[in-house]
Structures are given as structure tokens and as C-alpha cells.
Amino acid sequence: MSIILTVFANSPDGGRGLARDMPVRWALEEAGLAYAVRTVSFTAMKQAEHRRRNPFGQIPAFEETRPEAPPLVLFESGAIVLHLAHSHPGLLPDAPDPRARAVMWIFAALSTVEPPVVERSMAALFEQDRPWHAERLATLHERVHIRLSELAAWLGDEDWLEGAFTAGDLMMVSVLRRLSGSGLLEAHPSIAAYVARAEERPAFRRAFDAQLALFTAARDAPG
Ligand code: GTB
């Protein structure tokens, strides 16, 4: 089996590992799978060749070549992580009920926690010059705080959402990391500690270092 992950040639995240290839890289590392990287520019991302991999002209895209079956091409970071978690040990419990609960947390990360987090990032990045910016940002911060408080109440003193680390934690932490630098995580110490705990995992470090090396090489390339 060989895997190719398509990622930004020049990530706008400044090497902070905030783009959506990061949860996929992390899942690949947790599962112990080797992969190659294909880079795309912002222009190439919108061309027909890449849109065959991701119809929305975005990263990530994932291709898995297997000897016994036609290549599998996937987009959507959550779907890719779920595919890896289902097909390789290490990211989901084996027992059906704990497995279903871990999958539930992947969806909770993407459909309940992520919307206010992303809306806040977009407002902070692109709406700074609007007269209503401060008021809107305060509203969005409040929405994020509500989700973080609810998550902290669930987590309590536990290390992970469902006892042992799963793909649900991987996806939740990937979403929460988009708050880094906003000061919002620090207001919820148990959530900040949860994110830090996940970032200490060797698989996370390998994934982070790989995307940083790519970012640094692109930044330092002549021309
Ligand atoms: N739902 C899809 C998924 O999860 O795979 C969303 C994919 C997506 O948003 N991809 C973005 C993209 O390709 C990159 S990750 N954008 C280019 C385009 O649409 O033309 C989002 C992202 C971008 C930048 C930062 N950053 O600078 O910190 C963080 C996250």
C-alpha cells in the first residue's frame, strides 16, 4: 500500500500546523503508516487535475494505492481520519460501543465545536477593518467560551474524552489548536492542558515536524 497526501506548497499558517493536512498527518503517524506528500500551489489547487482529487479545490487530498483494489481517493480531513481509524489499529477501540462513542467525538469536533472556532478565526483575520468588528468578535468569543466550558465539564479530570486516546481526541485537539494565540484556551486550563497533552504525543510531534520542515523549505527556497 502506498499513500500520497496533497498539502499546501506554501501554507498560510506560518508553519503552525493549523491547516487541515495536520490531522491527517497526525492520524497517519498514530497508525504508523508511511506516506508521501504532493504539494499544490493556490493556482494548481483550483485546476481540474487537483479538483479530481478534491472537487472544492482545497487541501487535503488523500490517495491510497493498494495491490488488490483500485486506488482510493478521499478529501475531507474528517473522512480521511475516519477511514484511517477504521482500517488500521491504534485510533479506535475494537469494541463496538466504545468505537461508536469515539466516532461520535469526531463528529462533535467537526460539527459542534468547530463552527464557532472557525467563525472566530475568520472574523479575527478578515473583518478587522469593519466598524462592528469588536462587537462581533466579543459575541464569537462568547460562543467559543460556551463550547470550551461544556467540553471542560465533560472532560473533568480525565486525560482524554473517552478514557483512552482515540481519533475523537485527535480531531477535537486539531480543532481546538485553531484557537492558539487567541487567549481563549488559556481561560479554560483543563482544555489548554488537554491540548498540550495531545501535542506531546510522539505521533503529533512527528506530524508537526514534517509540516514545519516543508513550510521552512518552501519559505527558504530561492526565488
Ligand atoms: N472541510 C474541509 C476539510 O476538513 O478537509 C476543509 C478543507 C479546507 O478548508 N482547506 C483549506 C484550503 O484548501 C486549507 S485548511 N483552502 C484553500 C482554498 O479554499 O482556496 C484551512 C486553513 C487555512 C489556513 C490556516 N491558517 O493560515 O492558519 C488554517 C486553516
**Residues sharing a CB contact under 8 Å with residue 33, sequence separation 6 or more, in sequence order:** 3, 84, 88
Strand partners, 69: 66
Q: Decide: helix, strand or coil at residue 161.
A: coil
Decide: 161 and 190 in contact? Cβ < 8 Å. Answer: no
* 42 shares its domain with 105: no
Look at ligand 1, atom 18, and give the residue with the nearest C-alpha: 58
Q: Which amino acid is at 83?
A: H
Q: What is the pLDDT along the chain (223 residues), one digit of tens a residue?
A: 899 999 999 999 999 999 999 999 999 999 999 999 999 999 999 999 999 999 999 999 999 999 999 999 999 999 999 999 999 999 999 999 999 999 999 999 999 999 999 999 999 989 999 999 999 999 999 999 999 999 999 999 999 999 999 999 999 999 999 999 999 999 999 999 999 999 999 999 999 999 999 999 999 998 7
Look at ligand 1, atom 30, and give the residue with the nearest C-alpha: 19
Residue 138 structural domain: 96-201
* 115 shares its domain with 142: yes
* 166 shares its domain with 148: yes
Helical H segments across 114-187, by residue range: 114-126, 133-155, 167-176
Grid cell for residue 177:
489548536
Decide: 38 and 21 in contact? Cβ < 8 Å. Answer: no
CATH of the domain at 9: 3.40.30.10
In the reported structure, the alpha carbon of residue 58 is separated from the centroid of ligand 1 by a whole-number distance in angstroms of: 7
Q: What is the pTM of this model?
A: 0.97
- Point out the ligand 1 atom lying closest to the alpha carbon of residue 76: 5
Which of 24, 41, 59, 219 maximizes ligand 1 atoms within 8 Å of its Cβ, making it the mutation to test the pocket?
59
Strand residue runs (E) in the chain:
2-8, 36-40, 61-66, 69-75
